[in-house]
Structures are given as C-alpha cells and as structure tokens.
Amino acid sequence: MPSQILSQKLVSNKIKIIYIAGLGRSGTTLLDRVLGQADNACSTGELKLLWRRGCVKNQLCGCGKSFNTCMFWYSVMTQWHMCTKRDKFCIEELVAAQQESISYWQHITNPSDVLHFSYAIYQLYRAIHLVSGAEYIIDSSKHPLYGLLASHIADEFYVIHLIRDPRGVAYSGQKKVQRPDVQNDIKFMTQFHPASTAMKWNATNLGIEMLLKRKAHKYVRIRYEDFVKDPRIAVTQIQNNLGITLTQLSKLNQYDSRMGYCDVELNKATHIISGNPMKLDQSPLRLKQDNEWQYRMPFKDKALVTALTYPMMKRYGY
C-alpha cells in the first residue's frame, strides 16, 4: 500500500466498509437499500462502476437525480478532487485502471498499477465517509477481486456473502430488463446464457470464500431466499455475525404468510450507483419470494444449471 495511504489513515477516522459480495441478479441492490436505511450507514451501490457510469456517463443516482446534479456525489467528488489533486480528464484513466485492477493477472504482474488505483478508491471511500458522516459505507460492488482491493484499504472490512439459488439467478439473467438510470438512450441489463451464469455462480462464490472470507474482519453468509422471507431475522443475523450495530433501521415488518410478502418502509433516500433498476423506486419495498423460475424456466435450462452447480448448491443448502 502506498505510503501516502498509510500516513493519511493514521490521522483520519476509521474507514469501515460493509461489502456485499455475490453474483448479479442475487438481490445485492435490495440488501444494500435496506441496510442503507440505518442512520449510521451510507448506501452507495456498486462503487466499482462509479467512474464509468457516474463520472463519464452521468447516469441516474438512486435519489433520482443525475450523478452530476446529485448534491451528495457533487460533494463527494469535490472532496475527492481536493485530496487527489486530479481533474476531470483523469477519470478516463481510472475507468481503464479499474478494468485492469480487478484482473487477477494484474495483481501478480503489475502490483504498482493496483496500488495506484487503490489510492484513488481509498480517497473515494474517505470522501464518502467525510461527506456522509456515516460510520459504515455499504458497497455492493459484488466482485471478489474488487472486494480484495477494498479489504486492503479499509480499517474494518465486513463481508456479507449473498447467495441466491443459481437457477433463479440464471432465469433472471435471461430476462430483458430496461435500465431506467440511463438517460437519453435505451439500454438493457446484460443478458446471460444459463450455462454462463452457472459457471460464473460457481467461480464468484468460490472466489468470495477463498479471497474475501480470509481478508474480512468479519464475514457472514446470507441466502437471498431467507432474506426476503423475513428481513428482520436476516438483518439481525448480519449484525450479530459481523459484530456491528445499525441504528434506527427502517421498520421491517414480519413476513405475512397469508399474503406472501413483507413490507420495508424507506425513511431516507439512498445514493446508489448502478445496481438493479429498483434502486429508483422510492415507494415502500415489498419483499416476497421470487419463485417464477420454478414453473417458467425451461426444463433443459433448469437441468443444465443444476448439473453445473450441484456440488456448491448442496453446500449452500439448495
């Protein structure tokens, strides 16, 4: 780690990161929003995509404003520029550096580039901490290698390993979903073949256990299905296992077995970058089991994903 980081960390408040790791379409944005309702937490979404989707493409923040007009991110980036002495023309460099820095090969062959990028994202976390005043920064970037970088930067690094049934992930990954955060254009979330999703599901979860679990100050594994069934129990489990206290969380209603859902009240806007389109929905969250894949997913796709992921499915209780 660069000496600049070490010296600044000695005189600054602790950077505490709650990192939500998992594969896309597993409910990471949903969990990010729920935990971000705590008074002492700041929900930021997928920070690894901030440089490209926020700074370069000016996409919508979770509060509904564009990145450049959101006062929270304006304040954060102003603070970041002051600390790094960088101007807007260096953002493209960071977009390229991000792609290189999450490459395993880059960690081995050119660690100086990784440290250079690490300094920039350390200052980003520090700016978020100073502007928000929050004790915890929630980052749902998901990727295990990006999380590995963050683990070297944070004073306290907590990992929530969020897992969803791979068949549900694969079914969701085939849907054509428009991205409402993209302005003046029509863009859709990336679609994946079930076989591709299955292999990524294996690799991502294995990577999280091999890399992030070892680096985390504390680690907890949560199943998406358990979280949406009763978020109160899941959030309590998260706090107990991580040894943290999230204050004044929004009201988490008990699961209504008759109606098949539970509601979560939203008391504050979140400034989520990237993530699921539901980040822009400011109405109370209705959490319910998403079992559509069980009766709509083609049998051949379901069988393929099951065969490719079966050993790890059993490990996680599916």
Amino acid code (one letter) for 172: S
**What pLDDT is attached to residue 71?**
96
**What pLDDT is attached to residue 306?**
98
pLDDT surpassing 90 at residue 95: no
For residue 78, tell me if it sits in a domain. yes
**What pLDDT is attached to residue 96?**
66
For residue 221, tell me if it sits in a domain. yes
CATH of the domain at 104: 3.40.50.300
For residue 1, tell me if it sits in a domain. no
**What pLDDT is attached to residue 299?**
97
Measure the CA–CA gap between 99 and 93, rounded to whole angstroms: 10
Measure the CA–CA gap between 172 and 191, rounded to whole angstroms: 9
40-49 burial: b if 16+ Cβ within 10 Å, else e: bbbbbbbbbb
Amino acid code (one letter) for 91: I
Q: Report residue 105 as tokens.
A: 């090969």
Distant-in-sequence, close-in-space partners of 207: CB < 8 Å, separation ≥ 6? 144, 145
Strands (E), the chain: 16-21, 41-43, 136-142, 156-163, 218-223, 262-264, 285-287
Distant-in-sequence, close-in-space partners of 231: CB < 8 Å, separation ≥ 6? 34, 252, 262, 264, 287
Using only the alpha carbons of the chain, give its radius of gyration: 19
**What pLDDT is attached to residue 111?**
56
What is the tally of structural domains in the chain?
1
Sign of CA dihedral 249, 251, 257, 260: negative
For residue 4, tell me if it sits in a domain. no
**What pLDDT is attached to residue 165?**
98
**What pLDDT is attached to residue 283?**
78
Q: What average pLDDT score do residues 208-220 get?
A: 95
- The predicted-structure confidence for 30-78, as pLDDT tens digits, reads as follows 999 999 999 999 999 999 999 989 998 999 999 999 999 999 999 999 9
For residue 2, tell me if it sits in a domain. no
Residue with tokens 């992930």: 169
Q: Residue 103 belongs to what domain range?
A: 11-315
Residue 105 to residues 114, 137, 204, 312, Cα–Cα distance (Å)? 11, 28, 16, 25
Higher pLDDT, 279 or 104: 279
**What pLDDT is attached to residue 303?**
98
- The predicted-structure confidence for 177-198, as pLDDT tens digits, reads as follows 777 777 777 777 788 899 999 9
Distant-in-sequence, close-in-space partners of 257: CB < 8 Å, separation ≥ 6? none
Q: Are 266 and 33 in contact (CB under 8 A)?
A: yes
For residue 3, tell me if it sits in a domain. no
Pairing label, strands 136-142, 41-43: parallel
**What pLDDT is attached to residue 117?**
77
For residue 255, tell me if it sits in a domain. yes
pLDDT surpassing 90 at residue 93: no
Q: What average pLDDT score do residues 146-170 get?
A: 95
**What pLDDT is attached to residue 8?**
42
Amino acid code (one letter) for 32: D
Alpha helices in the chain (DSSP H): 3-11, 28-35, 71-84, 91-101, 104-109, 111-132, 144-153, 166-173, 194-207, 213-215, 224-229, 231-242, 292-296, 299-315
pLDDT surpassing 60 at residue 4: no
Measure the CA–CA gap between 44 and 34, rounded to whole angstroms: 12
Q: Report residue 301 as tokens.
A: 């796709």
Q: Report residue 76 as tokens.
A: 């954060």
For residue 6, tell me if it sits in a domain. no
**What pLDDT is attached to residue 256?**
67
Measure the CA–CA gap between 49 and 28, rounded to whole angstroms: 15
- The predicted-structure confidence for 256-272, as pLDDT tens digits, reads as follows 666 667 778 787 889 99
